[in-house]
Chain A
Amino acid sequence: EVQLVESGGGLVQPGGSLRLSCAASGFTFSSYSMIWFRQAPGKGLEWVSYITTSGRQIYYADSVRGRFAISRDNAKNSLYLQMNSLRAEDTAVYYCARDGVPGATLGDYWGQGTLVTVSS
């Protein structure tokens, strides 16, 4: 069974940093690109970042480029999102997802999410 479990969320002050983790199991993690999405409270879904299997190709939404960094450790079956210079508008539930449909770029399996709150 595919499982994705996010952790690392919490309350942080504006300008602060946070590192999210996503532990993957039930599939060969190193064979799949991975995606971070987020959802602000009561709002819709937003794509945040994408990383290929080797980590050689990475993409970011304009709203986070230069502040967030996606990475992965295939030996640990883990995906990460380093978030710096956090702003109030970064407050959201952050989901990691597997990009599991060949030829598409979407989340076929999602974790349950971790809440990040940016507030003083």
Chain B
Amino acid sequence: EIVMTQSPATLSVSPGERATLSCRASQSVSSNLAWYQQRPGQAPRLLIYGASTRATDIPARFSGSGSGTDFTLTISSLQSEDFAVYYCQHYNNWPLTFGGGTKVEIK
């Protein structure tokens, strides 16, 4: 099983600032990585797949990068609706696994 590790666990950022979230896989997942956003009380929403491709209707301020074992999600200028928990998920093989999440909170 591939273990996904996200850091930091919590990120405190002021509105308008940049946020950088990390996700590391215990072995290579190539570019088979997705990012999700989960707001309180809501279902997860797909942001990024293929490590760097934005999903439908996702704003351009969200960008993903990386391949192999190290990945980054960048939110260029945080808006109020972006304060949420973010999860990475690999789909390189079975089982699908998620990182533990990064909570982006208001500083």
**A, B assembled together:** yes
Residues of A at the B interface (CB closer than 8 Å) are 37, 44-47, 50, 59, 61-62, 95, 101, 104-113
Q: Is the interface of A mostly helix, strand, loop or mixed?
A: loop
Q: Check A45–B43 contact: CB distance below 8 A.
A: no
In the docked arrangement, what's the CA distance between A110 and B38, Å? 11
Which listed residue (A47, A62, A95, A110) contacts B96, Cβ 8 A?
A47
Q: Check A44–B99 contact: CB distance below 8 A.
A: yes
Tell me how far the C-beta of A5 lies from the nearest C-beta in chain B, rounded to whole angstroms.
Answer: 11
Q: A95-B43, A106-B46, A107-B46 are in contact. Are A44 and B95 (CB under 8 A)?
A: no
Contacts of A110 in B (CB 8 A): 43-45
User: Max chain B CB contacts within 10 Å: which of A45, A104, A106?
Assistant: A106
Which listed residue (A45, A50, A104, A111) contacts B87, Cβ 8 A?
A45
Contacts of A106 in B (CB 8 A): 34, 46, 49, 89, 91, 96
Q: Check A47–B95 contact: CB distance below 8 A.
A: yes
Tell me how far the C-beta of A87 lies from the nearest C-beta in chain B, rounded to whole angstroms.
Answer: 18
Interface assignment of B97: CB less than 8 Å from any CB of chain A? yes
In the docked arrangement, what's the CA distance between A59 and B96, Å? 10
Contacts of B50 in A (CB 8 A): 104
Q: Check B100–A104 contact: CB distance below 8 A.
A: no
Q: Check A47–B97 contact: CB distance below 8 A.
A: yes
Q: Check B98–A45 contact: CB distance below 8 A.
A: yes
Tell me how far the C-beta of A4 lies from the nearest C-beta in chain B, rounded to whole angstroms.
Answer: 9
Tell me how far the C-beta of B18 lies from the nearest C-beta in chain A, rounded to whole angstroms.
Answer: 24
Interface assignment of B32: CB less than 8 Å from any CB of chain A? yes
